Structure 1
């Protein structure tokens, strides 16, 4: 009997950690407790979908937002809307163990009122992205994958930095996120990537990560290089005063197609790929000047 008791205690000690509940604090400061690693996950942002997949959890996704399109297999999953119009009833019907969302998602309170766990992930900087990778990896039970994913990002950014010609380094970039215009400031993950590529930014960190600017700000700032989605770049000369911008007159600009642009504006595991797109753009501009 004594031997059986000792064996039982040893077994309990071995199994205890695996059976222990998971406690996680999200980016709004809310602590969540899970009895096991979530097996059914809904994501309400493309970068969160990509993060889950990069960390080995793609098979646990049961629903994604309408803009999630990478990796390709997520396009087959149920679409639950977007940040502004997420379909609460449809999400609930999927019976997720957790919903991953960003702070601006409007449906958080309604989802939580239905008893669903909503983990908020807020990624605006490189440090935030690294933290998000770690938090989601803990949630999935694949903590080692977070550092591996981060290392891949860093290697790609280093490779991209080496591609940027000396002739364009230090020049100031205006990167337009939206035609309002919203810009990627120096303190955003896009701005930090540009800095790693030895580039400047017309938007000072004091203005915030993604400030909405007065169009006259850009006219006065006179960026050396303009970057934007191609559709926005095409209409910039029609904005009051913008036709006089030397960067537009001299075609010192980079217009990105939809697929490339999506990579550039998503703070997640494809930030290294985004850096390579930026570097290729900058190398092309240097080539034009020869």
Structure 2
């Protein structure tokens, strides 16, 4: 009888352990699901902001390209109208690339080749000033794509993996210093799931008034957090989320060693 009782207890203990393992697995799956949903929500917010911001920017760049070319092109050249139209059309086309989420390096290479070809075909000795202006406008557009992180030169991808290319002072000030604080990491973690008001962040982090504002300001200055308007919600940026993901990967790799 005692033996049977022990077997029953052992059976229930095993069953309980099995149930706990299943619950743990479900919890992990649900956690991963929430992370995907939260990331999608963040991307939707950022995409909405990007779209509303990009349209007037592209319009401005198109107008700026047209105005600069009309102003800088040689006045008494018989090819002025022909070249002007082709160059302005091309530069307005490249300005439109800035509105895209991602710009392929081959597209930039193709436009560079087009500009070089047009320059080569030009016969007037005064052409250099016109094409120099066009190339300057184009390269400024490319720099803007770099700043918006929508375009990378293929060479830059290689540099990212080279430890010898790391700039310690810049990395320390732009990445390490802003997240070298448990409270700021907590703020980023809370914002990774959804946008938050100042009062919501205060409740979630336990920080009050000026203390919370100090840490938010550090993250704002680092470009890891944005505020929708002067008194609006706070949201995590692409840089902030990438930093958080990077730290998570580093921590996981260290834990596994």
Q: Is the TM value for this pair above 0.5?
A: no
- For the pair shown, the structure with the greater C-alpha radius of gyration is 2
Higher strand share: 1
TM-score, normalised by the number of residues in structure 2: 0.25
